[in-house]
Amino acid sequence: MGNLLKKSLLLLLSASLIVMTGCGEIDDDTVRIKRNNTWVVIMEMGDYPDGYQDTITDFASAKRMQKMFMKMGVEDDHMRVVLNEMQSSDVQDSLKWLGENADKDDLVFFYATAHGGWLEREVQWETFVSPEWLELDVRDKVLMVDSCDAGRFIEDFAEVPEAGMAFSVTSADELSWKGLEEEGLPIIGSVWSHYFVETVFDETSDANGDKLITMEEALSHTDLQVKEYMRNEVFVVEEFLEMYHDLGAYPLKSEAYPNPLFYNYFEKDLVLYDMN
């Protein structure tokens, strides 16, 4: 499969963030977010039909991701934000929007957050979305799935360079956490998105001191913060820990939980924030 797969499976970002890294020729170039070449889709489901638990957070996760991209300089007409409309056809329409607007040399981001069961059964992610993501004719594309069992929605991209960059907030058999106001915890909405949007602009995320915060650095820093929050704020509440147990998850049996997946086939570092 050429230079893209010369690097094998790495535990690069932390002890539990699983990474597949693509390898191109070494040079000083980077992939940058630019006002006229970056396209973003943000989708969040919160109000569900019968059979699913609502996650009413005033779409906190989508809104903070939107604000982050705006701060990065992405223009409003280069962003598509879809709230509470996440059937299979809605996700496919968003992918179609990217295909119609983004040029091959542009940069695209796709962030989706919902129940993992919703993505599996209603969106039928693995049947429809994954193949269309691979067919999206854009060289530099980033997929972020924020749900329970999120890893299952990207694991087919292992050793598939056409996937670009794909990240899931949990592995295939793990639960994620969205805080609700009535629970009384500090973070409302997705814990992962809360820390990610802060980490992107946090100089302590710059692991190598080059004044550039890359996607890998941001994910690494976010991963540590999510794990600390879950252990110190969520799992110390017996009621919440029992919720995990009732669903067959025992997070305290692991030294670190959750364990996100990250497949990276970019040939250059993706810079999210330049502090120079």
Instruction: Write down the pLDDT at residue 255.
Output: 82
CA-based diameter of the chain, in Å? 53
Per-residue pLDDT reduced to its tens digit, 67-103: 999 999 999 999 999 999 999 999 999 999 999 999 9
- List, in sequence order, every residue forming a beta bridge with 264; answer none if it has no partner: 21, 165
pLDDT at residue 16, as a whole number:
46
Under the phi-then-psi rule, with left for phi > 0, alpha for psi from -120 to 50, and beta for the rest, what region is 58?
A: left
Residue numbers of the chain with a pLDDT score lower than 50: 1-16, 18-27
CA–CA separation, 146 and 44 (whole Å): 9
Phi, psi (rounded to 5 degrees) for 255: -65, -25
Q: Would you say 116 and 147 are in contact if contact means Cβ atoms under 8 Å apart?
A: yes
For tokens 């009413």, the residue is 56
Tokens encoding 47: 């109000």
- Are the CB atoms for 141 and 108 separated by under 8 Å? yes
Domains of the chain: 2-274 (3.40.50.1460)
Task: Express each pLDDT in 27-77 by its tens digit.
Answer: 458 999 998 899 999 999 999 999 999 999 999 999 999 999 999 999 999
Of the candidates 126, 84, 106, 91, the one whose C-alpha atom is nearest the C-alpha of residue 34 is 106
Residue 18: per-residue pLDDT:
44
Amino acid, res. 206 = D
Q: What is the predicted pLDDT for the residue at 28?
A: 56
Give me the residues paired with residue 39 across strands: 108
Give the pLDDT score at 17.
53
pTM, entire model: 0.90
What pLDDT was estimated at residue 138? 96
Supply the angle between the helices 191-199 and 215-229 in degrees, to the nearest 10: 140
